[in-house]
Amino acid sequence: MTQRRAAQDSSSATILPDVTDAPGETEGDNTESPPPRPNTPGRAPSIPLPTAIRARRRPLAVEETSAGGLILSDLSDQAQAALIGRIDRRGRIMWSLPKGHLEVGESARQAAVREVEEETGIKGEILTELGTIDFWFVADGQRIHKTVHHFLLRKIGGTVNADDPEVVAVEWVPLGELSARLAYADERRLMQLVPELLAQHR
């Protein structure tokens, strides 16, 4: 299952031509503009056009791939899931599923297990695929298309900790409270698939 999220920074941007304010001063053009004609009664002043108009080019998109998932404490009706908290630019804590970039030579499944353990302290094994999310955003002036592969995992070891420098908190959250806690709508939509997937592995 694929969910799509459009970042406000990217698709809503309008690319406008860069018009030089002063005629005859465009970079790379040494020609002089003709002098304006004198005004005559009943006639609007003549304004010379810019000698060049340079259109800005939209930067090429970069493809990024990450993996992570929902790790469960067990497969019972009282199961809990480990969520991570990060601080956003406004100083708010944003709860989400653990995830991160694939390393060289790594599969999405391998990266999911590694990232979940690095960010939560919990070692897990994959039960099944949960879903894929893709979205656009802009960072340092670069348009980025990111695809994130999510898996459903269960705990096989470890204890929760927030040792990862990018994570400020890790908590076990009851399954029934996940949608209320998760900050991102696309991850909340994935939670709708959990009961059926979980029933298949009990």
pLDDT tens series, the chain, 202 aa:
555 554 434 333 333 334 334 334 434 444 444 555 555 555 555 565 555 545 566 667 899 999 999 999 999 989 999 999 999 999 999 999 999 999 999 999 999 999 999 999 999 999 999 999 999 989 888 999 999 999 999 999 999 998 999 999 999 999 999 999 999 999 999 999 999 999 999 8
Instruction: Tell which phi-psi region holds residue 69, choosing left (phi > 0), alpha (psi between -120 and 50) or beta.
Output: left
**Token digits of residue 189:** 């939509």
Are 119 and 140 in a shared domain? yes
Are 27 and 86 in a shared domain? no
Look up the domain containing 158 and give its range. Answer: 2-9+60-199
Are 194 and 135 in a shared domain? yes
Are 164 and 108 in a shared domain? yes
| Residue 109, H or E segment | helix 108-120
Residue whose pair of structure tokens reads 């694939």 in the numeric block: 102
Q: Which of 125, 12, 6, 109 lies closest to 66 in space, CA to CA?
A: 109
Instruction: Tell which phi-psi region holds residue 93, choosing left (phi > 0), alpha (psi between -120 and 50) or beta.
Output: beta
What is the pTM (predicted TM-score) of this model? 0.70
Tally of domains within the chain: 2
CATH number for the domain spanning 98: value is: 3.90.79.10
| Residue 62, H or E segment | strand 62-72
Q: Which of 55, 26, 34, 66 lies closest to 148 in space, CA to CA?
A: 66
Yes or no: say if 109 and 152 are a contact pair by the CB < 8 Å rule: no
